[in-house]
Structure 1
Amino acid sequence: MATPSRRSVLGLLGVAPVAALAAGPALATQGSGRLPGTLRPGGELDRLVADRAARDQFSGSLLLTNRGRTVLARSYGMADLGRDVKNGPGTAFALASVTKLFTATAVAQLVRQGKVSHNGTLGTYVDGVPDALRDITVHHLLTHTSGLGDYHGMPGFREESATWTSAAQVMSGITGYVLRSTPMFAPGAGWAYSNSGYHLLGEIVARASGTPYHDYVREHVFAAAGMTGADFVTKPRWLTDRNVAHPYRRDEQGRWTDTVAEFGFVGTPAGEAFATAADLDRFARLLYRERLVDGPATHLMLSGKVPPGPPPGGGNPPPPSGRPAWTVFQCYGPQGTLLGGQWSYGHTGGNPAGIATAVEFFPDSDWVLVVLTNHADTPMREIVETARGLITGT
């Protein structure tokens, strides 16, 4: 197993030497050599996903690429049971918290333009911030160290949010709830996964750019990356577009039940953008190749800041038994994981109503893994762990 250099470890901690910052986060891609058979069609990963699909435990798409070339691409199950529409390469899935990567990228772009500062406090960019939240910075929001939690669980939110019928109502309505929330701890005093924090980052993107959040991401992330199947899909379109997968969970009789009605009008900076597997593969590759944000800014985004706590149903999972331990740091958006001498970066997302998603990329060896599903109880951890172990040889 390769041992990471002192420079690479310092870089992940966000204290890399100036020379390393200028070079970006070790993004020079290396030739992968001969691709392992375990990752090719018919290999261990392919057999695992096929087996879970045969057991009705996987419905969705998996895409694995190396140096921009497809190594394994599979789609299983139904995008819309009611209309007998199958999942396929062109199916867009709700991404849940993977959306946070787009929000973090938008923030990185605006930081590079001098419109946002990581040290800037919330009140610098958002009006009406109460004293209890005044010391929260952009850095705290990006790293889940703000002390803010999840607006979804606040009293009255579910009922009121069901009445919103525009993106502007969704954004202002959620902001109102977040600004009335009570932090769990002082900024920087702990780590707690925060949908509320990432929503506020979306507000900062809108205020600093002068463009509504959804429009900014559509233009400067989706269009800039050539993500032609990505969008913030409204609920009316979700119900009618045959290219958009519906989420499902089992009812008390064990039957799959469509849950689109349980979601809000449109996705937010914290979750529920939509994309195909190919869209996410392209986004990840352009991100670590410094095409969406330039080199120093990409390095800053992908360098570790704090060790995260246990994520509630998301984030990178702990190492499986029988495999070497890995080191995890929270970066500005993704989490970075060191395993087998390689850093990987990624994010997962999920919702008990039937969404499970993951994207993970390995800049040094130029692998990208995307797993998008529309069934509850998908064994996402098993799939991601297996792929990660096979890619890193651990």
Structure 2
Amino acid sequence: MTRPMARRTVLGALGAASLAGTALVAAPGAANAARPKDLRPGGAYDRFVAGRAAQDMFSGTVLIAHHGQPVLVRAYGMANKDQSIPNRPDTVFWLASITKTFTALAIAQLVEQGKMAFHDTLGTHLDGFATEVAGTVTVHQLLTHTSGVGRPAVGGGTPPGLDWNSFDEVMDGTLALIRQAPLQFTPGTRYAYSNDGFFVLGAIVAKVTGQSYFDYIRQHVFSPAGMAHTDFYGRPQVLANNAIARPYSTQRDGTRGDFATSPYAPFSTGPAGGAYSTLSDLLAFARALTAGKLLNPAFVDLITSGKHALPPSEPPAQVEFYGYGYLNTILNNRRIVGHSGSGPGAANRLDIYPDLNWASIVLSNYDTTINPIIQLERDLITR
């Protein structure tokens, strides 16, 4: 059992390893560096994931990398069951909330350039919000899910926006609904995960830059990171592209249905979760981020460091914080930075280990939990 850390020790660990410049890029001799056999092909991790797939508890791709070089790459299950198309290492998956790392990075780029500030209020950049929202909610609070902005969780019934058929309609329609919603709590007083908050951040990116959020991310995140197979896709594009894995969501009777063909599937989940990518592209993103190619290293450390303490969750850790669009976890006194992504027919995780030079990516087109896979990966890397 891991011994709890004192507050001073926790704060020290949070700042001990700088994410930028952590040598996720290949280092001399790294390809021949000693790597635990349990993380290599045929090892405990490889066998465990294969076992989950054999039980139809996992469908997707996994990658383990050291110093930016893949150590293990695997693909399991079907990308399209109707057409018998298997998942492959280069299959494109819906990232869901991993998209938030790109949105937060875009905000930080604009702050670095002096075009905005983290303490700016929402009303500094966007109009149409109630005075108590526009004048009090800050960019910092939106990034850390402490703003109170967003619609409360809804129960049954048809969700709004199913008739939207373009990225403009998704952005405009969602922002109109958010503008009508009262604050759920006084900004800064508590944490409540908010997809709507990241839609607002995407709208701020568009307002400050004068171009669409989607074009900005393509030009300033995906392109410089070398993410050639990453993009935002609408539902019609997903249905027409056999390179994209169909998301198979769990039904009430336990069967799995293609969520992309569901009448409840939205056109896109936008800045909060609408990006699609591959294993190799996410590894390229991790390399570019840690090498300071997308953002000054000081700002990389800023957005990936912990801002708000989170309650215990799965998989377990000593402590977990939310930063600016990045989760910051400490396990076995080692820091892990990244994000999860989940939704109907999606379960994903990007983990970067700053002080160990490892990275792990799991992309799944099932919504069956991948926590057992993540827990084993983390235990093997940090032990």
TM-score in terms of structure 2 length: 0.90
Separation in 2, partners of 1:249, 1:36: 35
* 1-structure distance, mates of 2:83, 2:335: 42
Contact 1:100 1:270 (C-alpha < 8 Å) held by counterparts: yes
User: What is aligned with 1:219?
Assistant: 219
Match of 2:321? 329
- CA gap 1:288/1:5 in 2 versus in 1, 3 angstroms: farther
TM-aligned CA distance change 1:265 to 1:283, over 3 Å: same
The residue that corresponds to 1:299 in the other structure is 301
| Kept after mapping to 2: 8 A contact 1:97/1:350 | yes
**1:62 aligns to what?**
62
1:1-394 to 2 correspondence within 5 Å? Answer: 9=11, 12=14, 25=19, 27-29=21-23, 33-134=33-134, 135-150=136-151, 153=154, 158-159=159-160, 161-251=161-251, 254-261=254-261, 262-309=264-311, 317-319=314-316, 325-351=317-343, 353-377=344-368, 379-393=369-383
* Offset of residue 255 of structure 1: 4.1
Partner of 1:270, secondary structure, is helix
CA shift, 1:165, in A, is: 1.2
Residues 145-195 of structure 1, C-alpha deviation per residue, up to 9 Å, x if partnerless? 101245773998724x11111111110100011111122211110011111
The separation in 2 between residues aligned to 1:328 and 1:252, in whole angstroms, is 32
Structure-2 separation of matches of 1:206 and 1:338? 34
CA contact (8 A) 1:93 1:275 kept: yes
Conservation of the 8 A alpha-carbon contact between 1:148 and 1:192: no
In structure 2, do the counterparts of structure 1 residues 121 and 251 end up closer, same or farther at CA, with 3 Å as the change threshold?
closer
RMSD: 2.6
* Number of equivalent positions: 372
Cα distance in 1 for partners of 2:200, 2:177 equals 11
Unaligned 5+ segments in structure 2 are none
| Alignment partners' CA distance in 2, 1:71 and 1:233 | 30
Offset of residue 265 of structure 1: 1.5
The alpha carbon displacement at 1:80 in A equals: 0.7
Gapped regions of structure 1 (runs ≥ 5): 311-315, 320-324
Aligned-pair CA distance for 1:4: 10
**Structure 1 Cα separation of the partners of residues 162 and 213 of structure 2:** 20
Q: TM-score, length-normalised on structure 1?
A: 0.88
Q: Aligned-pair distance for 1:376?
A: 2.6
SS at match of 1:110: helix
Per the TM alignment, residue 266 of structure 1 is displaced from its structure 2 partner at its CA by: 2.5
Cα shift readout 1:97-135 (whole Å, capped 9, x = no counterpart): 111011011111111011120000000011111123120
Amino acid paired to 1:390: L
Quote the sequence identity (%).
Answer: 40
1:229-252 deviations in whole A, cap 9, x for unaligned? 100011111001010010113446
Partners in 1 of 2:193 and 2:75 — Cα distance? Answer: 30
